[in-house]
Amino acid sequence: MEKVLILDFGSQFTQLIARRVRELNIYSEIHPYNSDKFDVNDFEAVILSGSPHSVRSDEAPQPDLSLIKGKKPLLGVCYGAQYLAHFYGGEVGSSNTREYGRAHLAKIESDEVLFEGINEGSQVWMSHSDTILSLPSNYKKIASTEDVDNAAFKIDGEDTFAIQFHPEVYHTKDGTQLLENFLVKIAGLKQEWTPNSFVEDTVNGLKEKIGNDKVVLGLSGGVDSTVAAVLLHKAIGKNLYCIFVDNGLLRKNEFEGVLKQYEHLGLNVKGVNAKDKFYSELAGESDPEKKRKAIGKVFIDVFDEESNLIQDVKWLAQGTIYPDVIESLSVSGGPSATIKSHHNVGGLPDYMKLEIVEPLRLLFKDEVRRVGRSMGLNEELLGRHPFPGPGLAIRILGDITAEKVRILQEVDYIFIEGLKKANLYNDVWQAGAILLPVQTVGVMGDERTYEQAVALRAVESTDGMTADWCHLPYEFLAKTSNDIINKVVGVNRVVYDISSKPPATIEWE
């Protein structure tokens, strides 16, 4: 399989480069620029990401390009472009004009393959405070904008190109075309990485890795764990043992519904009621990170106990996907900041003698759905909204009690079922309710009430890395609010969250 290496210098957009490349049916991997965990020889082309750093600072990332530059097709993006100029004889300085946001290509060298199909005037997206003042002698300028003279260049005698703008972001209108020009027309890569090829390669890899060993997998009812289970089932069949844990933090009727759903997939599934263990561990805990850690601990404890009931089990499978890894560990341990921990990411405690297998670890959510679709999973399952591993615990702000869970389950049920009945469910990427740690004054009949407030959250996204709030119809929100207040004892106020990610996260904790 042909692969593209993306060297990460800590840019907030690095993951978008990987997504755009994969949308071209070309496989890509992100690695920190200073990592020793990859072999350059395994890749057919290389892209240098942007960075929050300046090439002029003492902390500037300085990759070793001795095995790349002039030897493999190379594209520098933003910081990558400035690096190729500054450290090879050119000059980079502080920009006299603001170079953030929209710009337009004012001049393009018409004979350049990198810009085939892209016209002068095309909108691009800038995000830098430095600018390239002069190029090394063997570099050729191939595009400019109104304010940026050296907006793109190539190196004579090499398949090395660089651009000051970000082709990976939505606001660069012909960004995908530029990446395709570089990867297909210049680097000569084949567009063969498809869902079907992923399934075939992954199943073969799992067979080779696991052999005749037994695997235990934690199912959640969601897309990720289900697709992971079906992939493993294709690879090892009856040696896959699935466990679905009721942690007391699921949605209303979810435990029974999910078990019934899996009957049709031919999977070997065991349901485990562990509510009391989770409630006991969470008792009195309000800190969101500690709640996640507590849930992760019990999750592992339950699996250790259940796996010991299966003779000779050697592997724990998880439905971890790429955004989980990025947010928990940075990108493969790279320069990006950690945002929050995920209960299904990372190593196991020493006492649990299982190895981890994560067949979806490098896929984004939309890619997981495409893979599931290629294996014939039904659309209702594939279209199910993401649901956090810690469940309702991170949608209940403050400590967890069975009564709070009951209230939120009822509110969530009304909201989600309402979206389905109004034919809005499939227009929303993720939706849920949040129980706020405040009580507010209300009036019901002639009586004063002092009860809970809840927030409704619905967002549009493709992979969870960024998200915007959904503009649900006022009539729908009014009816939902009325239904919740009238039907859920303990709630007298409903609000709607209109925050985007960033700066907010999708979940409140």
Indicate which residues carry an active-site annotation: 78, 166, 168
Spacing of C-alpha 267 from chain mean position: 27
Nearest to 391 by CA among 377, 379, 405, 380: 405
d(CA 460, CA 501): 10
Which amino acid, 438?
A: V
C-alpha 271/C-alpha 268 separation (Å) is 10
CB 371 within 8 A of CB 227: yes
Distance CA 257, CA 44 (A): 46
Please give the C-alpha separations between residue 324 and each of 31, 207, 224, 392, 432, in angstroms, as whole numbers: 16, 25, 11, 18, 19
Token code pair at residue 477: 């929100």
SS3 154: strand
Write out the two tokens for 340.
Answer: 């929050």
Rounded CA-CA distance 420/363 in Å is 27
3-state secondary structure of 491: strand
339-357 as b/e, with b when 16 or more CB fall inside 10 Å? eebbbbbeeeeeeeebeeb
Contacting residues for 349 by C-beta, under 8 A, at least 6 apart:
300
Question: HSE-up of 127 (CA within 13 Å, CB side)?
Answer: 17
Prior bond of 52 cis (ω within 30°): no
In angstroms, the CA 274 to CA 267 distance is: 21
Q: How many CB atoms lie within 10 A of CB 166?
A: 23
Give the single-character DSSP code of 396. Answer: B
| Distance (Å, whole) CA 149 – CA 151 | 6
CA distance 33 to 138: 25
CA atoms lying within 13 Å on the CB side of residue 305: 11
